[in-house]
Amino acid sequence: MQQLLHQVLSGLATGGIYASVALALVMIYQATHLVNFAQGEMAMFATYLAWALIQSGVPYWGAFAITVVSAFVLGVAIERVIVRPVENSPILALVIVFIALLVIFNSLAGWIFTYTIKPFPSPFPAEPLFGNRYLSSHELGSMAITLVVLLLLFVFFRFTPLGLAMRAAAQNPVSSRLVGIRVGWMLALGWGLAAAIGSVAGMMVAPTVFLEPNMMGGILLYAFAGALLGGIDSPGGAVLGGFIVGVLENVVGVYVGSELKLTLALVVIVAVLVIKPSGLFGKVQVVRV
Amino acid sequence: MNPAIDRRKLAGVLLLLVIACALPFMIANYRVFQMTLVLTYSIALLGLNMLTGFNGQISLGHGSFYAIGAYTAAILIDKAGVPYWATIPAAGAVCFAAGFLFGLPALRLEGLYLALATFALGVAMPQILKHKAIEEWTGGVQGIVIVKPDPPEWTGVSQDHWLYFFTLAWVVLLFILGWNLLRGRIGRAMVAIRDQPIAAQAMGVNTAMVKSLTFGVSALYTGIAGALGAIAVQFVAPDSFNFFLSITLLTGVVIGGLASISGAFFGALFIQFVPNLADEISKAAPWAIYGVVLLAFIYVMPTGVAGFVQLVRARLARRRGAPVPR
Amino acid sequence: MSAGTTTATAAARAPALATERPASALLEVRGLAAQYGPTMVLHGIDFAVGVGGITTILGANGAGKTTLLRAVCNMIKTSGEVRLAGERIDSLATEAIVRRGVGHVPDGRGTFTHLTVEENLRLGAHTRKDRGEIGADCERMYAHFPRLKERRRQQAGTLSGGEQQMLAVSRALMLRPRLLLLDEPSFGLAPLIVQQLFEILKAINETERIGMLLVEQNAAMALAIADQAYLLETGRVVMSGSASEIRSDEQIRRSYLGY
């Protein structure tokens, strides 16, 4: 039983990471009806940026802040420069563009930073808080950071005019133009925020899995699973889905063995898509014939 | 109502075939091996193109079917002593079943969601192949080594040459069958489903059956390619069939030209030779090039090399005042 | 189509437009043409809205009325001149035109169905710099349309057709526009609601001097509040004049307006 509790709590910690990335995915999906396959690699690349800053002597939280801002700018730039020109292309073309971005970021990281695995520091102390046996300080800390990020986003979207405008632009771009919203820039902002969230997730996960170009591959898959499970167009659902998948991964890992973790994600994805594509909390899409 | 076979096109194809047969005798042995792989990839690309180019179903995980075909051949040769040439149709059958079965739940998934599901398949495949439960057959992380087949006595050619011609024979067969399929009723149904799915259904096309069949056939082709590739390379291991293989195949299809049969060769040439050249710059370079090339093609040449060739031919024909060849 | 006499009347009326246009028009449109792909939908039409005036564009389905409003907002490909208080706006993006004080109540209402009533209203004021006034303006809208106040925290998609129409109009008014474009506000609404709505529109026009371009199928209601009227048929203006003239001409009413 103690083992189970430990796995569940640990699962919540990793679930927080999945929830963050899932939220980033949903943010872009809501606005564009597209899934950014490159989200994981963008996060990984941002994490390398943080690593480089720390290596050159910048204190952790300074590097953290610079990385988040840089990731935001990068996200905005990618939307404006790379995605915008092909906005109205068929889905296949857009999927290919995202895959291309995935490949480019992955190889850029490998090229600039090599493929050797690097350790990444955690800002949290090595000893567990209060000497507890369930969660390391890093797990606790990263959960806290994740929750803070999610809370900030919630407040932003719910209570600020800009957040409202972004929600409107995602839901109904035509009507948004009619109230004077610059829909194109709202989209770019969404990409920027998603990239920033991803960078936080990357920096929280790197101390555990070590920094290397393929670091985020499995995590992206879990984030997909979480987002689909919760509902790909429901931010709250995606967050919940992320936590569920995190716990599921650990609990199933105990009983079935840890080598099938990715397969578990695959099974969840296919199962959700086949049984209830809109997920637990998503809206059912009605296709007008 | 099939369009008449263009005489000039036929002549062109026959000429290429003659060149292909003569080629091994004009180049070094390891180049023959590389060309064998080009032929292998061309089959795989035709398979993926059927699904994605002609039928509009996005697959980001076709490397998995390549893997299944490769492992089927390897296991049959290594564990069951099946002669290498018999493993090819076997791999095709297994992959057809796998593709058809995967295609069934995929029926309800449109574009993006199918891309997601196949992406997951592609990412998870190496892990599945490494799993302890089937290690006995798959050889786990180490994989399986295949003995290079010997050519029959009467041919008198080297092993590499024999493999080349063996593969070439399969290419000819599969391409003729594929070409026939695509210009027939089913091929038109495939394209109709891609372009106007609802109208196609309203006109009586059994959308579900065609889509599943397309998935199956596409997997069959790619699986056969995997088997041929495994025999040529003489080795299968889980990490050779990771997600990046799926990306490689996708790149090949985009470069060659979606919904183009001849494009398969252009794409195959690209994915065989460009990484070799790029590898000399850096380990990461091939992928960077793939990524940049993918972007470039989407922006500039969405119809791929085959589309570009078509464009050039049309321009030349117009200058001569001749009717545009199709 | 029309017989000889009414065409003659139409020809007699068209030139009258030139002298009737107010000297300082709020909206002046000349030679507006629009197409969807290869199909021409508007064939070079002229019309105007006076400052603080109400102009109505009448016509049957397919006449091009919705296209006309979309063209004014540059939501579709157009050619021709569109001037707002003398300034050319036909090459500006839709958002930019809105920012110059043009509120648009589109066909189908265009409400943000997943957002609350209050959020819809606040979005209407998105471009305004005087954020402090927004709350007061929301209250003003609630005063015009009490039903919206009851439902202020409800999702807009759960409102009835009439309520959504009121919300759409309110949202456009939150902009504090100079010009309000309305696309068939009576569509799908019960006659009593339509009457209430039009009374409110007239009142707002009189008290706040907001110009209105009202596109309508319900000619009777539209002519009751408008001062200028144009009749659109397959993308061409076939009749124009003051609303009272058109309203009182029985022949026109019978042949073109069906009442």
Window B:162-181, CB contacts with A under 8 Å: none
Residue B253 lies in a domain: no
The shortest CB-CB distance from A168 to any of C75, C99, C123 is to: C123
Q: Residue C16: pLDDT above 60?
A: no
Q: Residue B275 has what pLDDT?
A: 85
Backbone angles phi, psi at B257, to 5 degrees: 125, 120
Residues A181, C95: C-beta atoms closer than 8 Å: yes
Residue B311 lies in a domain: no
Q: Residue C212: pLDDT above 90?
A: yes
Of C14 and B312, the structure prediction assigns the larger pLDDT to B312
The shortest CB-CB distance from C112 to any of A175, A182, A183 is to: A175
What is the distance between the alpha carbons of residues C259 and C250, in angstroms, rounded to a whole number? Answer: 8
Judge whether B282 is closer than 8 Å to chain A, CB to CB: yes
CA proximity to A121, closest of A201, A58, A40, A210: A210
Residue B204 lies in a domain: yes
Mean pLDDT for chain A overall: 88
Per-residue pLDDT tens for A127-153?
777 767 777 888 888 889 988 998 999
What is the distance between the alpha carbons of residues C194 and C212, in angstroms, rounded to a whole number? Answer: 16
Rank A47-56, B316-325, C147-156 by mean pLDDT and report only the highest.
Answer: A47-56
Residues A179, C123: C-beta atoms closer than 8 Å: yes
Count of helices and strands (H, E) across chain A: 11, 0
The shortest CB-CB distance from B282 to any of A106, A111, A257 is to: A111
**Residues in chain B closer than 8 A to A228 (CB atoms):** 116
Residue B219 lies in a domain: yes
CB C98, CB A178: distance < 8 Å: yes
Q: Residue B310 has what pLDDT?
A: 73
Confidence of residue C4 (pLDDT cuts 50, 70, 90): very low
Confidence of residue B288 (pLDDT cuts 50, 70, 90): confident
For the entire predicted model, the pTM comes to: 0.84
Residues B120, A221: C-beta atoms closer than 8 Å: yes
Residues facing C232 on adjacent strands: C237
Of B321 and C166, the structure prediction assigns the larger pLDDT to C166
Q: Residue B215: pLDDT above 80?
A: yes
Out of A258-272, B90-104, C70-84, C92-106, pick the least confident.
Answer: A258-272
Q: Residue B68: pLDDT above 90?
A: yes
Residues facing C36 on adjacent strands: C39
What is the distance between the alpha carbons of residues A17 and A24, in angstroms, rounded to a whole number? Answer: 11
Please compute the mean of the pLDDT values over residues A219-248 and round it to a whole number.
91
Chain A, nearest residue to C72 by Cα = A178
> Containing H/E element for B145?
strand B144-145
CB B195, CB B24: distance < 8 Å: no
Q: Is C49 helix (H, G, I), strand (E, B) or coil?
A: strand
What is the distance between the alpha carbons of residues C191 and C186, in angstroms, rounded to a whole number? Answer: 8
DSSP state string for C149-183: HHTTTSBGGGS-HHHHHHHHHHHHHTT--SEEEEE
Chain B, nearest residue to A289 by Cα = B198
Confidence of residue A186 (pLDDT cuts 50, 70, 90): very high
Q: Which one of A179, A186, A233, A281 makes the best mutation probe of the C interface by having the most chain C beta carbons within 10 Å?
A: A179
Q: What percent of chain B has pLDDT over 70?
A: 94
Q: Residue B103 has what pLDDT?
A: 83
Residue B297 lies in a domain: no
Q: Residue C43: pLDDT above 60?
A: yes
- Name the minimum distance, in Å, from the CA of C183 to any CA of chain A: 13
Q: Residue B304 has what pLDDT?
A: 67
Pick the CATH number of C4-101+177-257 from 2.40.30.40, 3.50.50.60, 3.30.2090.10, 3.40.50.300: 3.40.50.300
Chains with 3+ CB–CB pairs under 8 A to A are B, C
- Name the minimum distance, in Å, from the CA of B102 to any CA of chain A: 10
Per-residue pLDDT tens for B135-154?
888 888 888 888 888 888 78
Count of helices and strands (H, E) across chain C: 11, 10
Q: Where do the structural domains in chain C lie, given as residue ranges?
A: 4-101+177-257, 109-173
Chains with 3+ CB–CB pairs under 8 A to B are A
Please compute the mean of the pLDDT values over residues B254-271 and round it to a whole number.
87
Q: Residue B323 has what pLDDT?
A: 57
Residue B123 lies in a domain: yes
Show the beta-strand stretches assigned E in A105-241: none
Q: Residue A285 has what pLDDT?
A: 57
- Name the minimum distance, in Å, from the CA of C122 to any CA of chain A: 8
For B28, counting Cβ atoms within 10 Å of its Cβ (0-12 exposed, 13-18 middle, 19+ buried), the class is exposed
Residue B319 lies in a domain: no
DSSP state string for B84-115: HHHHHHHHHHHHHHHHHHHHHHHTT--HHHHH
Q: Residue A210: pLDDT above 70?
A: yes
Place of tokens 């971005």: A101
Residue B118 lies in a domain: yes
Residues C95, A183: C-beta atoms closer than 8 Å: yes
Mean pLDDT for chain B overall: 85
Chain C, nearest residue to A283 by Cα = C114
Backbone angles phi, psi at C208, to 5 degrees: -105, 5
Domain total of chain B: 1
DSSP state string for B229-258: HHHHHTEE-GGGGSHHHHHHHHHHHHHH-T
Please compute the mean of the pLDDT values over residues C73-80 and round it to a whole number.
88
Q: What percent of chain C has pLDDT over 70?
A: 90
Residues A177, C98: C-beta atoms closer than 8 Å: yes
CA A73 to chain CA centroid, Å, is: 16
Chain A, nearest residue to B285 by Cα = A107
Q: Which one of A158, A162, A178 makes the best mutation probe of the C interface by having the most chain C beta carbons within 10 Å?
A: A178
Residues A224, B56: C-beta atoms closer than 8 Å: no
Please compute the mean of the pLDDT values over residues B77-94 and round it to a whole number.
90
Per-residue pLDDT tens for A87-128?
877 888 888 999 999 999 999 999 899 889 999 998 888 777
Q: Residue A226: pLDDT above 90?
A: yes
Chains A and B touch (3+ CB pairs under 8 A): yes
Tokens of C243: 């609303």
Out of B146-160, B162-176, C100-114, C212-226, pick the least confident.
Answer: B146-160
Show the beta-strand stretches assigned E in chain C: 25-36, 39-50, 54-58, 78-84, 87-88, 102-105, 179-183, 211-216, 228-233, 236-242
Residues B116, A224: C-beta atoms closer than 8 Å: yes
What is the domain extent for residue B181? 7-247
**Residues in chain C closer than 8 A to A181 (CB atoms):** 95, 123, 126
Per-residue pLDDT tens for B245-257?
999 999 999 888 8
Residues C115, A183: C-beta atoms closer than 8 Å: no
Place of tokens 């590739």: B229
Reported ipTM = 0.86
Q: Residue C1 has what pLDDT?
A: 41
